[in-house]
Structure 1
Amino acid sequence: MAQSKGKVYLVGAGVGDVDYLTVKAYRLLAEAEVLIYDALVDEQLLKLVPDNCLKIHVGKRGGLPSTPQSEINQLLVKYCQQEKLVIRLKSGDPFIFGRCMQEIQALQAAGCDFEVIPGISSVTAAPLLAGIPLTDAEVSRCFAVFSAHQPSELDWEALSRLDTLVILMGGQHLGEIVDQLIKYGKDKFTPVAIIRKAGTSEQQVWIGELSTIVEQVKAVRLSPAVIVISEVVGLSRFSGKM
């Protein structure tokens, strides 16, 4: 199949505000002819593209309606085949729970040129911005990252034995996360941090324990949020204040 003269850039927008965008992503946005972007992207990013750039919002916010992935794939192929410079803008890093491979497979099948541009992920940035080190020589020799979008499919027995857990897309299932970890032996007094809207002026941090955290945030919509479960939470500058 002949390759299209257009090109698609799968770009990570970073965590939170536009300040966390990489220089390469900034340069590409300034050249964009078509921008296909997610709901979690800072709105200020839309001002970085040319005035004549076609902007297409495709949603992708937890718990709310989104454009089907198949339609997003078709949009990418369509505009690439029209020889456009297309930016597919995703929050964080494209390869971390971003369904990037589905889009790459669609582009490859259509003979479209593409490139993936890394972004700063909330996996590491959110804990850092809350003053939480994911590793520590004494209390955290490793950490695991996982999505709790489908908690029934996770190996909770294995996860409960790890020093530090970083959880994305877990706000709607916080109660089940807590119950499963305690069930499989995690101490109910293990510290927990929830960082909501990390890297923005609206960032909020809740500090608690497995036994208390659900009650602390029961009236809060936790999306987008990163959950950290570990003794390292006690090292946070927010520890004991919230």
Structure 2
Amino acid sequence: MADRKGKVYLVGAGPGDEELLTVKAADVIKSAEVIVYDRLVSDSILSKIPDDIEKINVGKNAGNHPVPQHEINRILLGKASEGKTVVRLKGGDPFVFGRGGEELELLNENGIPFEVVPGITSAIAAAAYAGIPVTHRDFCSSLHIITGHVKDGENLDIDYDSLVKLKGTLIFMMSVASFPKIAEGLIEAGMNPDTDAAVVENGTRPNQRKFVTKLCDISKVIEENQVKSPAIIVVGKVCALSEKLDWFSKLPLYGCNVLATGPKKTSEKLVSKLRRLGAHVLEYPCIYTEPLDFDIDIQNYSWIIFTSSLGVTMFFKKLYESKLDSRHLYNKKIAAVGSQTAEELLKHGIRADFVPSKFDGKHLAKELLRSGKITSKDKVIIFRAKDGTRELIDIFKNNNISCTNVSIYATGYIKNDRIDISNFNYITFTSESCVKGFAYSFDNTVNYSRINAICIGQQTAKAARAYGMNTIVSDTATVSSMVEKIVEVYEGKKR
């Protein structure tokens, strides 16, 4: 073992909704060298973990069985003893039936420093997303969280008589399989069989399901609907409020499945907006970008044009690396292809002099010429992606405008694992490259006519139609407009 000891952070990942991850948890995850996670940590949270961090899945092995607790303890001790910063990422809160205490005891015995970052427990959060307030002064005066999970070979050890006498809200975790015995025990102890009860599966996640019934019927409901873990079971009068206070299933995109094809970093805004509206979003990045070396000598040009927000980012990165700043753009006119590109410029203290009415290269060039802002006396330099569409350049050259094209980043395609596209209502494409990258993943073996493609602009839609996709184009070439279009067409289909 190394002399230098690392540190372990026992972190609660919350119930599943990535936005319920605490600020401290997110910060600790970013600073980790190793992350040891279990099966209850949602895919949306795992997708936020930087690629350079070592990730160890202890939720299941090749036999699809949980990794034994003693083996998880050994992994934590081993990685920390190598001097590494380790995050043990657990669903919910690590101290609410999460066996977090067992893991820390071994670390303490071996002198490994640790910290605990609490998480939002699903016992409360899943109920809230199902419209069930776990306490309400008109219905109960106490809340009790009980586990229905026991060690192998042991029997349930629940004091049913005491629970019934308390007349509070009862929340059972890890109890899907054992609840027939639990329900029987509660009824035998004197609880009214008609007591309101509910089961919430995959609480706070887009695929959440809830079933509200009576205590005497809940075991049957669980079986008939094939409810599986993770799920909580709530018993108490507060369950009667579920329909009245349900807000989650009423979100406009609840039940809508979306596949997002853009690069992970640039898709964050789109994915976040969709998830907030209730959509189940799978990130399926089809392209990647890499910076190219280029010259930032702009002294002989009167107009600078940026055709993407990424191009702005790359340009200023190069500018700062060259010990320069935005003053280098003094006395230059700046054009941005759309509002997102203009917003990125503003982050660097530059307000675009021109943004076209429609966010694409064709309208950018034609509107600049029509307005007289650019004439044959001007020299134009365009910073953009390598192999981007030539429409913008050709329009300028056909109108005798001196134009220099500078490639500042290149786009490559990613070979993803195949997925079943029939599972998705919509697939989003934020560029022509995303369409081509998506097709690259499938080697033309997919029936593209089954795809409802949400496209950010006409150029992207043209590429999607070339493959036979059903195209739906956002009203403007922005992420917000794409989201609005998805809501519009999805709600239209529900009517």
The TM-score, its normalising length taken from structure 2, stands at 0.46
Deviation for aligned residue 1:215: 1.9
Written as runs of structure 1 = structure 2, the 5 A alignment for 1:21-36 is 21-36=21-36
CA-based RMSD = 2.0
1:47-86 CA-to-partner distances (Å, cap 9, x unmatched) read 32332211111117xxx62111111111111111111110
Structure 2 residue runs of 5 or longer lacking an equivalent are 246-495
| Structure 1: distance between partners of 2:161 and 2:220 | 24
> Does the 8 A contact of 2:126 with 2:232 survive in 1?
yes
CA drift of 1:153 comes to: 1.1
For the 8 Å contact 1:32–1:50, the answer to whether it is kept is no
Q: 2:171 & 2:227 partners in 1: Cα distance?
A: 19
| Matched position secondary structure for 1:139 | coil
Q: For each residue in 1:91-148, what CA deviation from the matched residue of structure 2 results, as whole angstroms up to 9, or x when unmatched?
A: 0011101111111111111111110001110111111111111112222111111101
Q: 2:236 — aligned with what?
A: 230
Secondary structure of the residue aligned to 1:11 is strand
Which residues in structure 2 correspond to 1:49-128 (within 5 Å)? 49-59=49-59, 65-128=65-128
* Equivalent position of 2:196 in the other structure: 191
CA 1:226–1:3 in 2, change beyond 3 Å: closer, same or farther? farther
What is the deviation of 1:27? 1.1
Residue 206 (structure 1) aligned with residue 211 (structure 2)? yes
CA contact (8 A) 2:176 2:222 kept: no
Deviation at 1:194, TM superposition (A): 0.5
Residue 235 of structure 1: how far off its partner (Å) = 1.3
Instruction: State the 1:223 CA deviation.
Output: 0.7
Choose between structure 1 and 2 for higher RCO, CA contacts under 8 A separated by at least 6 residues: 1
C-alpha distance in 1 between matches for 2:89 and 2:197:
31
TM-score (norm 1): 0.92
Q: Residue 8 of structure 1 contacts residue 76 of structure 1 at CA under 8 Å; is this kept in 2?
A: yes
Matches within 5 A, 1:136-147: 136-147=136-147
Counterparts of 2:135 and 2:184 in 1: how far apart (Å)?
25
Work out the number of aligned pairs and report it.
237
What does the per-residue CA deviation read over 1:217-239, in whole Å, with 9 as the maximum and x for residues that have no partner?
21313311111100111111269
Shift, 1:167, TM fit = 0.6
Unpaired stretches in structure 1, ≥5 consecutive residues:
none
Q: Provide Cα deviations, 1:124-177, integer angstroms capped at 9, x if missing partner.
A: 111111111111222211111110113621111111223210110110012111
Q: 2: CA distance between counterparts of 1:178 and 1:80?
A: 43
SS at structure 2 position matched to 1:211: helix
* Shift, 1:4, TM fit: 4.4
Task: Write out the 4+ residue segments of structure 1 that deviate beyond 3 Å after TM superposition.
Answer: 2-5
2:162 matched residue in structure 1 = 158
Give SS of 2:88's match: strand
Max Rg structure: 2
1:39 CA drift (Å): 0.5
Q: Distance in 1 between matches of 2:79 and 2:89?
A: 15
